Amino acid sequence: AQSVTQPDIHITVSEGASLELRCNYSYGATPYLFWYVQSPGQGLQLLLKYFSGDTLVQGIKGFEAEFKRSQSSFNLRKPSVHWSDAAEYFCAVGEDYGGSQGNLIFGKGTKLSVKP
Amino acid sequence: DAGVIQSPRHEVTEMGQEVTLRCKPISGHNSLFWYRQTMMRGLELLIYFNNNVPIDDSGMPEDRFSAKMPNASFSTLKIQPSEPRDSAVYFCASSFGLAPDTQYFGPGTRLTVL
């Protein structure tokens, strides 16, 4: 069965510092990969997604992620964190029901705190 | 464009009462998902519809939970009878396409069962 692991439950970084959030997945074929962000009291918002092609994908708010098949990873990065980035981040992998609409499997999330 | 709409945004009820949560997906989307989020268990998929047909309801906790999608623009999640352990934020999401694709989430319904 497919699964997603986010090893870090909570990360604190200083404003202006770089950020990397880890995500590892388990999937037999080429996965559909996503990063979502959830601000307090809000629903989840898509940051970026990877389906195929260039393994480095750019997203909104200055985020990027790199797909590494050999490591089964899809880590999220940002070169300089802003206080408004404080939120919870979820990695997800898509299931493919053989051409029909599939479901997403979400990781447990990583909560990001930003120090002034 | 309107996103996914959920109502009510907040619901407080007493144990044993029936609770109905509502969702209007984005127009044109053909898949709809109901999730539950708690501190202890994180984000859990409850049920998933494609073209108004339930595809996977293995996440529905027990017979007290039921979901319907009578048409492409409306879905309900019902809990009867409700219990305090059902307290959570319930999200509805919708997506479009023939492969796993972006799910657009609603703002959620915060349910408190006293």
Q: How does pLDDT run across A60-109, given as a tens digit for each residue? A: 999 999 999 999 999 999 999 999 999 999 999 987 655 555 678 899 99
What percent of chain A is modeled with pLDDT above 90?
Answer: 72
Chain A residues closer than 8 Å to B33 by CB: 103
As a whole number of angstroms, the distance between CA A99 and CA A108 comes to 27
CB contact under 8 A, A101 and B91: no
Q: What is the pLDDT of residue A28?
A: 67
Q: What is the pLDDT of residues B38-97, one digit of tens each?
A: 988 889 999 999 899 998 898 998 899 999 999 999 999 999 999 999 999 999 999 987
Q: Cα–Cα distance between A73 and A1 in angstroms, integer? A: 17
For residues A31-46, give the mean pLDDT.
92
Taking the C-alpha atoms of residue B12 and residue B80, their distance in angstroms, rounded to an integer, is 14
B45/A103 CB distance under 8 A? yes
Phi, psi for residue A22 in degrees, rounded to 5: -90, 145
Are A49 and B4 inside 8 Å of each other by CB?
A: no
User: What does the DSSP 8-state code read for residue A62?
Assistant: G
Residue with tokens 């029909």: A100
The reply to whether residue B101 touches residue A94, judged by beta carbons under 8 angstroms, is: yes
Query: From CA B87, how far away is CA B84, in angstroms rounded?
Result: 6
Cβ distance of A101 and B105 shorter than 8 Å? no
Cβ contacts of A36 on chain B, cutoff 8 Å: 105
The residues on A that touch B, with CB distances below 8 Å, are 32, 34, 36, 42-46, 49, 51, 90, 94-97, 99-104, 106, 108-109
pLDDT at residue number A104: 85
What local confidence, expressed as pLDDT, does residue B100 receive? 76
Spatial contact of B44 and B35, defined as CB atoms under 8 Å apart = yes
